[in-house]
Amino acid sequence: MASNSSIAPLYSPEEISKAWLERILSHKLKTQVSIQSWDMKIPEKRNGFLSEICFVEVLIYGSKDECKKIPLVVKFMSMEKERVEFIKLGNLGKREVSVYTHAASEDFKNFCFASGLDHPIPDVFCSCMGGDLLTIVLSDLNAKGYRMCAPAEGSTLQQIKSTFDSIAVIHAFGYASIYKNGREQFHIPFETSYLDDILDQGMRKLIKFFAGTTVEKTLHALVPFQKEMISVSQNYPLIETLVHGDLWAGNVMFTADDMKASIFDWQFACVDNPLCDVTSMLLISAEPAVYEEHLSEVLDCY
């Protein structure tokens, strides 16, 4: 059986092969896997600013020669040179691979089981990188009834509550892990001088996305406080834990009833104040009524 360290990252979807998929599935399922067939779909539009993805559906032989379908989403490094340099500057690939490696661990699975919450992070099949290559293989939550939902009017009360349920478990795991093993396991140094421009660009994109809604007014009000938002952990110290660093509705998938949330895209993960995630999700993505009328209720979920 292949070890995770022996699985090589790929340059693009075109390099995916049956043998490569069998190594990943054998490692994940802890048994030798034989693939009957597999199919790949590449989205017409880019899914995210920093990555390329494709969807893979695999049929494997199970017990009594029955076939089992396994839907996957595979993420690669961006193919654009400027974006690769940006990712390297901030160690963004290392951050994401590190988080997904921890999410695949037995410690994290047991922690989630004890919390009673499934999939606060998508199930991880493989997370590896080498040189300028990065490949992350996750369970395709679309096949489990999850979907992305970032409405222009803002996320609903239930969506925010579900997101807080999930991020609270992740924060608690990070805090417990740091207490036990130290912050070095999550702390990856990076150059911060570019964050002002990135936050400004991100805020402008969000303002355009939410144009004509009350959320747009909230975002406009936040623009003068961008530097304070970056330095919130220094100005208001609390505890240190693993934080997402870019938590908004576009990085969350919800079940059809919005009762569960799974958080992805961990490029900006770091050791920081958990309030960074709480405030960004509320102020960037929530309907204004959520924090104006239901703040105590959503914080109780956290």
User: What confidence tens digit (pLDDT) does each residue in 160-182 have?
Assistant: 999 999 999 999 999 999 999 99
Q: pTM score, two decimals?
A: 0.86
State which amino acid sits at residue 270. C
Average pLDDT, the chain: 87
Classified by CATH at the fold level, domain 144-301 comes out as Aminoglycoside 3'-phosphotransferase; Chain: A, domain 2 (3.90.1200)
Helix (H) or strand (E) holding 139: strand 133-139
Domains of the chain, by residue range, sit at 144-301
Q: How does pLDDT run across 238-283, given as a tens digit for each residue? A: 889 999 999 999 999 999 999 999 999 999 999 999 998 998 899 8
| pLDDT confidence tier of residue 2, bands split at 50, 70 and 90 | very low
What's at 228, amino acid-wise? E
Sheet holding 124-130, edge to edge: 35-41, 51-61, 67-77, 133-139, 124-130
What span, in angstroms and rounded, lies between the C-alpha atoms of 103 and 125?
10
Give one DSSP letter per residue of 153-193, joined into a string: T-B-HHHHHHHHHHHHHHHHHHHHHHHHH-GGGT------T
Each residue's pLDDT tens digit, 64-105: 667 889 999 999 988 788 778 878 878 889 999 999 999 999
